[in-house]
Chains A and B, each alone.
Chain A
Amino acid sequence: MSRIWDNYQTDVSYDELMFSSFQPRQGSHSLCQYLNALTRESIEKRKIAAELAILEMGISFTVYSDEGNIDRAWPFDIIPRIIEADEWRFIEKGLKQRLRALNCFLNDVYDKQEFIKEGLIPSEIINSSKNFRHQCVGMKPRHNVWANICGSDLVRDKDGTMYVLEDNLRVPSGVSYMLENRVITKRVFPELLENIDILPIDDYPAQLYEMLCSIAPVQVSSPQIVVLTPGIYNSAYFEHAFLAQQMGARLVEGSDLVVEEDECVYMRTIEGLTKVDVIYRRIDDEFLDPEVFRKDSILGVPGLMRAWRAGNVALANAPGAGVADDKVVYAYVPEMIRFYLNEEALLPNVPTYLCAEPEQLHYVMQHLDELVVKPANESGGYGMLIGPQATSKQLAAFREVMKKNPRNYIAQPTLSISTSPTLCNDKVEPRHVDLRPFILQGEDIFVTAGGLTRVAMKKGSLVVNSSQGGGSKDTWIINVEKR
């Protein structure tokens, strides 16, 4: 009988599950053995079961297309990705260290700017950052934390090293899909999960709730918490609703909130106006408050920034936190860790060339066909150039763009990102993956056990964003019994 797994060929990259084509890594033995025993038919059945569960549970994301926006079923691959708990504990430490340093930096940027004064980062970088908000200068969020929710993207290179690719400190999304992926895996492989010691992840909503409570204005004992969404047409609306539901918080839109003369935020309820203490906002800075940012925005709440500055409401993440996920600022994170924490970074950055630096720009121009170039402030994989896959015409066009606005670009060597076995048509094939763990910082600091593994479904592709056809996998952090 032919097995779906028979001809699995790992390529030149590091494979998350296998040492070589037929050698599972230490933590992956049970999974590989189990999958090996399944026939094509039973794998196919499980795949269909997963797809049906996703449809029925309504796990979707919204994509914009020519025909307006549509809900797409969440793309999911049933074969999980495994990380051993020992390694994970180290990564977890590194992520906490990183977010602490980033928050120290944010606090400093909007206050004394010692990091700049010490000459550790050119002041122009901060001043020209699209996400630096002068309106936030002098603010002191509770616990000195600006970025309360961080989604960092990790990738593994061919030698096995985990690199931080970027930090998302504005409104990172994906955590609901991480949780739902596990729910689906439990439905699809109930017998498998019984025998493997996987760290649970379902405490995230409780941790998020705790964190949000911890940043409420000091005088409030049992805070009223809301999730602020741009509305049903936003691509992450599913997640906003999911998190509100899981926390038992209200899901509000801008029009539900109002700032009264006492500079407090209220929501319009059937009982009248009810005070709001903590807002987990999923609206970008620019749209938060038309009094301060974009005047034409109807998504936000007029006066919200006044209420925040007066200390009457907490905003997570704090406005202005995005200055630290500028991809140019990213290059300075190891230095931040040294400066603020007096430690060495546990997780390395991907080597990064700053196009704003003439010498580095020169190098980038010369080696463009080996590099990945990214705009400093885009997300979702938009506006990137992948050198080795680009045509000479594309390369030339990008050279022009970069010359015009070098501050806006960074370049990185193309890593050979690790792969994970993925069900493709009727075969299991290696596909590139990344990982987005979520880190929460309020009074305490917390990291999810694993994160959202995204997978590039096209052969050889490095693009994992779901808006661009990427998929996802359940991620298992497992305790391995040492033999």
Chain B
Amino acid sequence: MLSRSAERIYWLARYLERTENSARLISVYMNLLLDLPKGVEMGWPQLIRINGCEALFYEHYKAASERNVAKFLLVDNDNPISLYSSLSFARENMRTTRELLPDEAWEQVNEMYLFAKNNLDTVTNRRGRVLFLNEIMEGCQRFTGLLSGYMSHNHPYRFIRLGRNIERADMSSRILELATLLLSESRSHEMRQYESILWMNILQTLNALLMYRQHVGSRVKGDDVLNYLLRDTALPRAIGCCIHEIDDAIRLLPNHDALPEKLAELDKYVQSIDTQKTTQYQLRSILDDLQSRLADLHNDISENWFLSQEQSQFQAMES
């Protein structure tokens, strides 16, 4: 497999995963706001803060109203991490690696892109937004299903798994960060009352509520949720599971060099996190640390298999 194709296909998977996660996050956040009583200190500005794009947002908008935030995070062309931007990058990476993927998978992504493009205006109202987000989440799942059903589990497929799981682990850690942000020590008494609603919504963002109940128990408690989402090795969106997926894919690729050892180290690190004893502040720094370790992992992958910058005329469009 060409190094360039490996790189593009890896990014294709990352961008599609990002697309799906953006849709999930916003969709659950909407539900959360609907669940919470009016007057608690949560609102749309937090969503901009979590995504770390306040500066860019206020360049284009005056107020963080629901309408503006939804527009900015979902369909804004000027925002490189908007859902539509991610989807466009995914499509472009796919358009340039079509020879490696089943036709149906290309058509699926292309259709989803055309759908988004034709429905950009619908996200400003809630009803339209719900439909839009559902269509995107389903579309991403169809893509994953098509590949697992139609595509050889060969090298290209392994790069898709790599990209998907690195992005997924990163996104899961950011969603947990959201929880810590909302649970800041300064939160109001009223807010504290609604904590379990918050944790249930976090679980839902990662489609993990049912699985949590089956594996941990029906009581939704902050520490247990964190533990489960960080360390479980069977739940697809738990970070521990993503790391095992990455490890699997890496071992089947040629020239993996020292990567399996590094993965083992990362796994050990994640499994040793003890959420019972960490303060909210400590947890934030653990999650930051985890994100930078995932970034290192990306660099190692890139060095191992992709074209170096001077060989590659095409630079992956990294946000």
- Chain A residues lying within 8 Å of B311, measured Cβ to Cβ, are 255, 268
Given contacts A232-B96, A270-B155, A270-B254, contact A255 B4 (CB under 8 A): yes
How far, in angstroms, from A271 to B154 measured CA to CA in the complex?
13
The answer to whether the Cβ of A433 comes within 8 Å of any Cβ in the partner chain is no
* Contact call A272/B255, Cβ cutoff below 8 A: yes
Given contacts A56-B111, A268-B307, A270-B253, contact A256 B96 (CB under 8 A): no
Annotate B1-37 by CB proximity to A: 1 below 8 A, 0 otherwise.
Answer: 1111110000000000000000000000000000000
Q: Tell me which of A146-154, A243-251, A384-392, A397-405 binds B.
A: A243-251
Work out how many contacts link A and B, with CB atoms closer than 8 A: 73
Annotate B136-178 by CB proximity to A: 1 below 8 A, 0 otherwise.
Answer: 0000000000000000000100000000000000000000000
- Chain A residues lying within 8 Å of B2, measured Cβ to Cβ, are 250, 252, 256, 267-270
Given contacts A253-B313, A268-B307, contact A232 B3 (CB under 8 A): no
* Contact call A241/B99, Cβ cutoff below 8 A: yes
Annotate A227-253 by CB proximity to B: 1 below 8 A, 0 otherwise.
Answer: 000011000000001101100011111
How far, in angstroms, from A267 to B5 measured CA to CA in the complex?
12
- Chain B residues lying within 8 Å of A445, measured Cβ to Cβ, are none
The answer to whether the Cβ of B67 comes within 8 Å of any Cβ in the partner chain is no
Query: Interface residue count for B (Cβ, 8 Å)?
Result: 28
The answer to whether the Cβ of A193 comes within 8 Å of any Cβ in the partner chain is no
* Contact call B99/A232, Cβ cutoff below 8 A: no
Q: Which residue of B lies closest to A242 (CB)?
A: B98
- Chain A residues lying within 8 Å of B5, measured Cβ to Cβ, are 250-251
How far, in angstroms, from A346 to B78 measured CA to CA in the complex?
60
How far, in angstroms, from A58 to B255 measured CA to CA in the complex?
35
How far, in angstroms, from A242 to B6 measured CA to CA in the complex?
18
- Chain A residues lying within 8 Å of B92, measured Cβ to Cβ, are 232
* Contact call B98/A245, Cβ cutoff below 8 A: yes
The answer to whether the Cβ of B234 comes within 8 Å of any Cβ in the partner chain is no
How far, in angstroms, from A242 to B97 measured CA to CA in the complex?
10
B78 CB, min distance to chain A CBs, angstroms? 17
- Chain B residues lying within 8 Å of A198, measured Cβ to Cβ, are none
How far, in angstroms, from A255 to B308 measured CA to CA in the complex?
10
How far, in angstroms, from A270 to B95 measured CA to CA in the complex?
20
Q: Which residue of A lies closest to B304 (CB)?
A: A270
* Contact call A270/B107, Cβ cutoff below 8 A: no
The answer to whether the Cβ of A396 comes within 8 Å of any Cβ in the partner chain is no
Q: List 25 A-B contacts (CB under 8 A).
A: A56-B110, A56-B114, A57-B103, A57-B107, A57-B110, A58-B95, A231-B313, A231-B314, A241-B95, A245-B98, A245-B99, A245-B100, A251-B99, A252-B2, A252-B4, A255-B4, A255-B311, A255-B313, A256-B3, A268-B3, A268-B307, A268-B311, A270-B254, A270-B305, A271-B254
Closest 10 CB pairs of A and B: A245-B99, A244-B99, A270-B305, A271-B254, A58-B110, A241-B98, A268-B3, A251-B99, A270-B6, A270-B1
- A residues contacting B by CB (< 8 A) are 55-58, 231-232, 241-242, 244-245, 249-253, 255-256, 267-272, 298
